[in-house]
Amino acid sequence: MVSGRSTAYDRNEIKTGDDEMAGAVTEKRPSRHISIVDDDASIREALKSLMRSVRFRVDAYGSAEEFMASERINDTACLILDAYLPGMSGFELQNHLKAEGRAIPIIFITAHSDDASRQRALKGGAIDFLSKPVRREVLLKAIQSAAAH
C-alpha cells in the first residue's frame, strides 16, 4: 500500500519508513482530523495505521455516504478519498462538498488511474491524485500540501 519497510495488511501493504520524515510532517500537521474514505477495509486500516504512526488523528469510512453522515465532516482538515467507490463516487463526493461550500483539501487515491480521471480530480480542486499502491513519502508530502491550504 504505502512504500518503505513492509507490514502486510490483507492483500495490501503499508510500508513504514524512517522517523525523520514522520517528524517533519508531525510538526506541521493540522490540529483537526484526517478522514479516509475507501471501500477496501485493508486500505482503510493501512492508511489509518500510517496516519497514527505520524501522530495524526484519523477516522475512516467505507463509503462517501458514511463520511457525509459523520460528525467529522465538519472538522476534517484533509480527506484521503478513493476515486471509485460503490454508491456515490469520490468525484461525486468532491462535487457535493464543493456545492455545500466545504473547502476540505482532498487527496484522491485510486487503483484505476488514468489521465482523464486525474484531470477531473485536479480540475475539481483536489490537492493530488495518487495511484495505489501509494508511496508513504508521496502521501505524506501531499498531506503537507493540504495542510498549507
- The pLDDT tens digits of the residues spanning 71-96 come to 999 999 999 999 999 999 999 999 99
Omega before 30 within 30 of 0, i.e. cis: no
Give the per-residue pLDDT at 115: 95
Alpha carbon distances (Å) from 51 to 14, 29, 54, 80, 122: 11, 11, 5, 11, 23
For residue 15, give the CATH number of its domain: 3.40.50.2300
Q: How many structural domains does the chain have?
A: 1
Give the per-residue pLDDT at 149: 79
Ranges of residues in the chain with a pLDDT under 70 are 1-32
Give the per-residue pLDDT at 148: 84
Give the per-residue pLDDT at 113: 87
Cα 36 from Cα 136, distance rounded (Å): 15
At residue 141, what are phi and psi to the nearest 5 degrees?
Answer: -65, -40
Which structural domain range is residue 109 located in?
Answer: 5-147
DSSP 37: E
Give the per-residue pLDDT at 12: 32
